[in-house]
Structure 1
Amino acid sequence: MPSLSKFLTDVRGLSEKEADWLQHLVGDWNLVSDLLRSDLVLWIQTLEGAQAVAHCRPATGSTVYYEDPVGIVLDEDTDSEIPALLNGAEPTRRPSTIEREGREASGLLVPVRKDGRTLAVLATESPVHDGMRSANEIHQHDLGSRVLRMLEAGAFPIEGAPIPPRRGAPRVGDGVVELDGGGVVQWASPNALSAFHRFGIEGSMEGITLAELSTEVLQSRSPVDESLPLVLMGRAAWRSDMQARGGTLSLRAVPLTERGERTGAIILVRDVTELRRRERELITKDATIREVHHRVKNNLQTVAALLRMQSRRMTSDEAREAVNEAMRRVSTIALVHESLLQGSEEAVHFDEVIDRCLRLAVDAASASVHREGTPRLTENQVEVRTEKIGRVGTIRAEEATPLALVVTELATNAVEHGLSDCGGTLTVRSERTGSHLVITIEDDGDGMGMAKPTGLGTNIALTLVQGQLGGTLTWESRPEGGTRALVEVYLDPLSI
């Protein structure tokens, strides 16, 4: 099924601003659906006829649709007001009895207008009530009807009123408070009353300004959001948190207008105490993890520096080379922990690690080579160029450390055994499809011929690929000369 944006793209004569308006409406129309306890269906005029392009089910009542109506097309001969309304006709503004999937329902059609032009038609459809509505349902329905009138007048959704992207956004089912133009409480739903009572507001709230009631229970030592007074008075379409008695209420204000004048507001309220507590715990945990990675990185770099100093005191070339290899491996692990410091989660952007592994491999692999762009220390040094093709993306920290060691070992082997005498190009190719990752490390040097790779670095790479990553590592000779090492693994998915 195409998305709303795809439907809107195919509508001729609909400007980008008008399409954004409809997208904004669909992004916020759950407020109307929950207040009216109705399904909402958005209809627009297409070349095929009136077409349903979006649907919303209420969270506060039962739905009349078992099947999603998106994609249904009505021609002009259909017994419905929708085509006429899309062509500019005036609505009847009276509910009508309709049938939805074998059941009787009540339907109301409202034109969606912007700057006096009808862009779409909103159909509200709800089950027929057998008995009397409760006072709570009547109040919510009246508030929903006022929002529908704003919709018809082009005043809803409220333009230029972004909602801060914080979790725990309140909805109608969490609690609703109705304010008049002066911010005085006219009515509060039972859930809203319970939420405010838990925060110290006792007795009835009606007839008192919400700002006055809230000021009495605000924590004086806690910082107060600058937008909170505007939200409590219903003067701005915004969201804000209010802290009291060690808890937190999330408040959202939706000003109500008629003929451009503010006549009141809807305040949605939700107790988000536990949610905010968990968010604070996550922030603390994230800071602790960052500090751990920072200290581990520093300790590993200290170990690498000590090994470097020790290698300079070695009189045996074999011992010096062994210490240098240990220093390079410790430095590679430190690279992963340094990368974890850059992100906000336990994941590594591995392409940056590859770049640094290549530099480390060439600089520390052999005294007979120098990396392209760096000065030549002796006249006999040959130049090694590095090239990275493709992207790995983000991987889990548990996989980044062994994979970085494997890339460094294979790159070091390529430089030492393939490029140390003649120089050339060291290339790393990455191909990732979902969880399947293939990394190829190749050089255009002398090649390994019929010899099989051996040595400590080879054994380390094989052990890490097969044991920790559950993959395969193979070598082959390149037809054009040189050696190619192929690493193939299946990564675990990142947890969001």
Structure 2
Amino acid sequence: MPSLSKFLADNPGLSEKEADWLQHLVGDWNLLSDLLRSDLVLWIKEESGALAVAHCRPATGSTVYYEDPVGRPSDGGTEGVEIVRLLDGGEASRVPTAIEREGRAATGLLVPVRKNGQTLAVLAAESPDSDGHPSNNETQQRKLGHRLLRMLESGAFPIEGAPIPPRRGAPRVGDGVVELDDAGVVCWISPNAISAFHRFGIEGDMEGVTLAELSTEVLQSRSPVDESLPLVLMGRAAWRSDMQARGGTLSLRAVPLTEQGRRTGAVILVRDVTELRRRERELITKDATIREVHHRVKNNLQTVAALLRMQSRRMKTDEAREALAEAMRRVSTIALVHESLLQGSQEAVHFDEVIDRCLRLAVDAASATVHRAGTPQLTDAQVEVRTEKIGRVGSIRAEEATPLALVVTELATNAVEHGLSETGGTLTIRSERTGSHLVISIEDDGDGMGAAKPTGLGTNIALTLVQGQLGGTLTWEDRPGGGTRAMVEVYLDPLTL
């Protein structure tokens, strides 16, 4: 099914600003749907009549549509004719009519969506007929919904500048509703809103009292207060704010009500988000703790590497010094992963940055007979090794980053020591990733393996990590232009953000 953006883009009768206005409406019309307890269907004009381009079901009542009506053209009946008439600029009757939806009796109301005097679309509010008498709560909410419909018809709703994108803990009609007059006095409050304010510490009857005064009495004096909170409590600004006191937190959203450009009151949506904010604080604390752990692990690994370096200087044989140098390089590679984890907010590693550092580490620590391109040549006998990286890996899970970094470092070191230490050349790491499938090739343009098979501790470590921890394969082959290519093929686990 095409998106609303596609429908609007294909409609030649709407300008870019008019299409944005309809997108803005659909982004916030759940408020209307919940207050009216009605399905909302947005109709726009097309050559053959009208087309339904968006649909919203209420969270506070039952729906009249089992199947989404988006994409359906208007019929030639009375309702379809009335929609087309309104789209052509006709005046709305504002009288609900009896309709039938999927075999059920329902009531429909058509309202033109206008902006700057132009009719952009028609909004159909449709609700199932009720057998019983509506409660006072339902009646009051419907009245507020009809006031918003009048604002919609005059171009005053949705409210420009209102924070439409969803924010964690944003209140909805089912959480609690408060009606204010133009002075900020409570005219009516829903039962759920009363319960939320009572848990917050406001007691007694709230109707007939200014909401800002009631809230000020229980606010914590030492807690920082959002500068927009007074405007929200008075209903003067279409904004959201949190109010905290006695360990509890309320999320408030104000929707000013206007008539002919004059503010006549406001709808305040309220939700108790105490538990949600507590969990968010726990997550922030947990994230800080994890960062500190990675920081300490990185420092400890760097200390171990320094101790290995000091110990290698006391060794009397070249074989012992080389063994300690290899151990130091592997410890430093693991430290690189933990350092990368310090940079992000998730337990994921941007592996391309790790590859860059693994390349430098492999060349610098591989052999005294080579030097990395761009660094000073210590002796005349040293050959130059250039490095290049082709392709991107992206982000991978921390559990996979450590073994993969070790594998890349071991294979890159082997390529330098056995392929480029005498002739020099280019060390290339080529990455190809499609979804979870990752292939990393470590290539050198040296003499090649020939008939020999790779052996040694580094090779065994790389094979064990690829097959055991990563569940992948590691193969070697000769490059067509000379040299050796080692290919690591793995399937990564998806990131859970």
Q: Please classify the TM superposition score into its range, dividing by the shorter chain length.
A: over 0.9
Map 1:134-153 onto structure 2 (within 5 A).
Answer: 134-153=135-154
Measure, in 1, the Cα distance between the counterparts of 2:280 and 2:165: 16
Measure, in 1, the Cα distance between the counterparts of 2:213 and 2:255: 19
Map of 2:334 onto structure 1: 333
Map of 2:23 onto structure 1: 23
Distance 1:165 1:338, change over 3 A: farther
Cα deviation 1:444-482 (Å, max 9, x = unaligned): 111111111110000000111111111111111112211
Map of 2:8 onto structure 1: 8
Is 2:230 aligned against 1:229?
yes
Shift in Å, 1:16: 2.1
Map of 1:256 onto structure 2: 257
Pairwise CA RMSD of aligned residues?
1.5
Contact (CA 8 Å) 2:28, 2:164: kept in 1 or not?
A: no
Map of 2:119 onto structure 1: 118
Map 1:275-424 onto structure 2 (within 5 A).
Answer: 275-424=276-425
Measure, in 2, the Cα distance between the counterparts of 1:327 and 1:151: 69
Distance 1:170 1:136, change over 3 A: same
Secondary structure of the residue aligned to 1:133 is: coil
Contact (CA 8 Å) 1:224, 1:242: kept in 2 or not?
A: yes
Shift in Å, 1:122: 1.0
- Which segments of 5 or more consecutive residues in structure 1 lack a partner in the other structure? none
Cα deviation 1:93-116 (Å, max 9, x = unaligned): 111111111111111111111111
Cα deviation 1:15-55 (Å, max 9, x = unaligned): 22222211111111100000000001111123454211111
TM-score by length of 2: 0.97
Measure, in 1, the Cα distance between the counterparts of 2:294 and 2:184: 50
Runs of 4+ aligned structure 1 residues displaced above 6 Å come to 75-78
Distance 1:405 1:49, change over 3 A: farther
Measure, in 2, the Cα distance between the counterparts of 1:353 and 1:49: 59
Contact (CA 8 Å) 2:27, 2:164: kept in 1 or not?
A: no
Cα deviation 1:268-316 (Å, max 9, x = unaligned): 0000010000000000011011011111111111211222233233332
Is 2:447 aligned against 1:446?
yes
Measure, in 2, the Cα distance between the counterparts of 1:334 and 1:45: 62
Secondary structure of the residue aligned to 2:277 is: helix
Pick which of 159-168 and 410-419 moved more: 159-168
Map 1:201-280 onto structure 2 (within 5 A).
Answer: 201-280=202-281
Secondary structure of the residue aligned to 2:58 is: coil
Map of 1:188 onto structure 2: 189
Secondary structure of the residue aligned to 1:73 is: coil
Shift in Å, 1:75: 6.3
Measure, in 2, the Cα distance between the counterparts of 1:164 and 1:279: 19
The percentage of counterpart residues that share the same residue type is 85
Map of 1:131 onto structure 2: 132
Is 2:52 aligned against 1:52?
yes
Contact (CA 8 Å) 1:75, 1:83: kept in 2 or not?
A: no
Is 2:430 aligned against 1:426?
no
Secondary structure of the residue aligned to 1:74 is: coil
Shift in Å, 1:171: 0.3
Distance 1:132 1:78, change over 3 A: closer
TM-score by length of 1: 0.97
Contact (CA 8 Å) 2:97, 2:108: kept in 1 or not?
A: yes
Secondary structure of the residue aligned to 1:240 is: strand
Measure, in 2, the Cα distance between the counterparts of 1:61 and 1:79: 23
Contact (CA 8 Å) 2:184, 2:265: kept in 1 or not?
A: yes
Shift in Å, 1:161: 2.4
Measure, in 1, the Cα distance between the counterparts of 2:342 and 2:130: 58
Pick which of 249-258 and 212-221 moved more: 212-221
Total equivalences in the alignment: 496
Corresponding letter in the other structure for 1:273: T
- Which segments of 5 or more consecutive residues in structure 2 lack a partner in the other structure? none
